[in-house]
Structure 1
């Protein structure tokens, strides 16, 4: 399983996508813009066990905010949306107002449509993201991708019903490893964020759940196999919420 990756951006994307479809029970391909979603859907088509979702990455809002209307239209036929969110780091502060506007529009649209599962980018912006989610009860389910907020913010997000998708790269720093010990194990999902996240300089492939499980094993005081079973069980629970696989 991989609940957040960019299959369309790997070198040899078609081959990697086919391999992910073969190896994984489920792979969530998040796109970075509505136009990218359309192109990826055309090129990769309907792969078994691969979900392609429309999104508008906060890092691209400065140049692609005009695609918001298209995204809101695409959401009508998609039960999941991503990657969306807010990036509060210094580099993207100039577009913060537009990022908030876009993200709030997506959450409001999710509520209007009866609920969607959102893969949310919140780097340096958890304090921006959570109040918007609270403003629209009934928006659906939030999956906070590669969570890097504070322990207090994590606890708040957990109380709100948020999930957390985590990959091996989240363990790269001491601060990251410390934060991982505080995650509620019943809401953790495996992800890679490949090809952007890497291991030993190589992009993490979408079939990296065993690596993620091995990293959670000592934290959860269980074997790697048991940790993987927890991740898979969590994933299946979220897929049921998502209504995946779709009815024929």
Structure 2
């Protein structure tokens, strides 16, 4: 692949849910978008790794999404077997929304196993889902994953400012997408986060840009408004984000 050096970051994107995953990976290479391809089930791991083999800019995360736990909780055993192959973990976490609350107890048991396995292995970087469950997620992180045993990135974080401070104290990073800048309450939250803990994401194809599913290169459209919110230039922010990523992934 003809890869362009890293220019932008999409730290949470479901590349395997696009009609042509190989095409999306090639675009990340050409456009210099460092992209974390998250998975929702460990059964998707092998194919994702195969397609991203040789990519400079795309990495694959080993996931077991909380929204599929009701049907797939038994796959935690497969996830644990595959963990030695993975540096990145996600999408994992908890979802206490109305559609998924019935499985919350099972979600909690699986998330505990995920965090315990990551702590035992050491050096893993996790992208974490926390819909209506930020406090519970942070409690599990405090108990199961010390900051020196793994790094957590809070994906699409919508907790309170006090929960954000608690996450910062635990060493968490935050991946920001364009949807988080729409409501004033969320804009204020993003404005309050430490600049050196920020990354960008799309969560494509679950977000939209110009009336179509977002793709990794669309993070370019987030740089200027996020920079304006934080009172820095777009180029300064872009460089800060790349430096944040380097510090996150460097042992």
Q: TM-score, normalised to structure 2's length? A: 0.91
Cα distance in 1 between the residues matched to 2:27 and 2:210: 21
Query: What is the distance in 2 between the residues matched to 1:178 and 1:11?
Result: 36
Over the aligned positions, Cα root-mean-square deviation in angstroms equals 1.5
Structure 1: any 5+ residue segments left out of the alignment? 242-248
Pair 1:58 & 2:73 matched: no
Gap runs ≥5 in structure 2: 1-8
* Equivalent position to 2:246, from 236, 240, 243: 236
Specify which of 120, 125, 128 is matched with residue 136 of structure 2. Answer: 128
Residue 146, structure 1, aligned to residue 191, structure 2:
no
Shift of 1:209: 3.1
Residue-by-residue CA offset, 1:106-161 (whole Å, 9 max, x unaligned): 00001111231111001111111111111122440000001111110000000110
Matching residue of 1:179? 189
Counterpart CA distance in 2 for 1:93 and 1:102 is 14
Is 2:16 the counterpart of 1:8?
A: yes
> In the aligned structure 2, how far is the partner of 1:151 from the partner of 1:194?
26
Structure-1 separation of matches of 2:246 and 2:157: 20
SS at match of 2:90: strand
Match of 1:203 among 192, 213, 217: 213
TM-score w.r.t. length of structure 1: 0.92
Q: 2: CA distance between counterparts of 1:89 and 1:184? A: 28
> Residue 100 of structure 2 aligns to a residue in which SS?
helix
> Is the CA contact 2:151–2:172 (under 8 Å) kept in the aligned structure 1?
yes
1:79 maps to which residue?
Answer: 87
Q: Which has the larger displacement, 123-132 or 24-33? A: 24-33
How far apart are residue 7 of structure 1 and its match?
1.0
In 2: Cα distance, 1:164 partner to 1:221 partner: 18
Aligned pair count? Answer: 241
SS of equivalent residue, structure 1 residue 208: helix
